[in-house]
A = this chain, B = another copy of it.
Amino acid sequence: MGQILDGKIVAASLKEETAAEANKLRDNGVIPKLTIVRVGANPSDLSYERGALKRMEGCNIATEVKELPEDINQEDFIKALKEVNDDKTTHGILLFRPLPKQLDEEVIKYVIAPEKDVDCLSPTNVAKVMEGDKSGFAPCTPTAVMETLKYYNVDLKGAETVVLGRSMVVGKPVSMLLLGENATVTICHSRTKDLSSVTSKADVLVVGIGRAKMVTSEYVKEGAIVVDVGINVDENGKLCGDVDFDQCIEKASLITPVPGGVGSVTTSVLAKHVIKACKLQS
């Protein structure tokens, strides 16, 4: 039976480190600040926002929330975003997505200032992730996967890692980050033939495919490390991951739960990115 990779412990460790950095910056007269840009008041955005604000407070990072009307047009939105870009007191910008339909993310992603883009919306940061250039910002969730593996001293050099899912928020960027640690990386997905035979070769399996409890024990090698990025609601209305935790913990050596796994680490990564952005800008 495997051990749990506890996201709360990883988050607490990152928080401590980040708060110390924030205090150093404050001692030098710089107040690190995250500005959240939110269009409308979607309940899931509000829920994430509460968590993020609390985390920033815990890390001594200042915050501001810019709530924009749900029916804002493209021109006004871009004007508002540029104001945040130009605001010298703001070091990091988090923009909730998806945006309402009248706003074109394909245009907006070029507007956000890359040096403040702490969750990797800008193509400049996407390209840096692919290039393995650490001067940019990878998205918070794949970075949280890496921080979790790092905290638990998982040696990725030459490891056979398998990423299930190829999205731009999880699968592709986490693959690039794993490559950067010298892992061998296989990217598989819904079109992969004989999926469980591919995933069950993994020393480290990262799952972000968006299907509740899809990964059952036959997908997992005995002794594997399993990182579950999925967040779904099961048939009883309870949160669950893409991995069937109860089954897979029997085979895995280490496994993240949902909730309490990678999801607990993302706001700490966000805080760390704000500090990094603040240092780049000051």
Chain A residues touching B, range: 20 to 34
Residue A64 at the chain B interface, CB threshold 8 Å: no
Kindly report which residue of chain B lies nearest to residue A123, judged by CB atoms. Answer: B127
Residue A25 at the chain B interface, CB threshold 8 Å: no
Is the pair B184, A192 in contact by a Cβ cutoff of 8 Å? Answer: yes
Kindly report which residue of chain B lies nearest to residue A193, judged by CB atoms. Answer: B158
Q: Which of A140-148, A172-180, A255-263, A267-275 contacts B (4 or more CB under 8 A)?
A: A172-180
Chain B residues lying within 8 Å of A192, measured Cβ to Cβ, are 158, 184
- Once A184-B193, A186-B184, A193-B158 are accepted as A-B contacts, the answer to whether A168 and B131 lie under 8 Å apart by CB is yes
| A168 shortest CB reach to chain B, Å | 6
Interface residues of A in 119-163 (CB under 8 A from B): 123-124, 126-131, 157-160
Majority SS of interface residues in chain A? mixed
Chain B residues lying within 8 Å of A168, measured Cβ to Cβ, are 130-131
Say which residue of B123, B182, B186 sits within 8 Å of A191 (CB atoms): B182
| A188 shortest CB reach to chain B, Å | 5
Residue A19 at the chain B interface, CB threshold 8 Å: no
Residue A198 at the chain B interface, CB threshold 8 Å: yes
Is the pair B184, A176 in contact by a Cβ cutoff of 8 Å? Answer: no
Say which residue of B131, B157, B187, B189 sits within 8 Å of A126 (CB atoms): B131
Q: How many copies does the complex hold?
A: 2
Residue A59 at the chain B interface, CB threshold 8 Å: no
Kindly report which residue of chain B lies nearest to residue A162, judged by CB atoms. Answer: B186
CA gap between A186 and B183 in the complex, in Å: 11
- Once A166-B179, A186-B185 are accepted as A-B contacts, the answer to whether A158 and B127 lie under 8 Å apart by CB is no
Chain B residues lying within 8 Å of A189, measured Cβ to Cβ, are 179, 182, 184
CA gap between A249 and B131 in the complex, in Å: 33
CA gap between A128 and B176 in the complex, in Å: 15
CA gap between A179 and B187 in the complex, in Å: 8
Is the pair A176, B185 in contact by a Cβ cutoff of 8 Å? Answer: no
| A219 shortest CB reach to chain B, Å | 14
Which interface residue of A130, A157, A159 has the most chain B CB atoms within 10 A? A130
Is the pair B128, A123 in contact by a Cβ cutoff of 8 Å? Answer: yes
Kindly report which residue of chain B lies nearest to residue A135, judged by CB atoms. Answer: B106
| A83 shortest CB reach to chain B, Å | 23
CA gap between A5 and B123 in the complex, in Å: 35
CA gap between A114 and B191 in the complex, in Å: 32
| A174 shortest CB reach to chain B, Å | 12
Beyond A179-B187, A184-B192, 15 additional contacts (C-beta under 8 Å) are: A123-B124, A123-B127, A124-B127, A126-B130, A129-B130, A130-B130, A130-B168, A130-B176, A158-B191, A158-B193, A159-B193, A179-B189, A182-B189, A184-B191, A185-B187
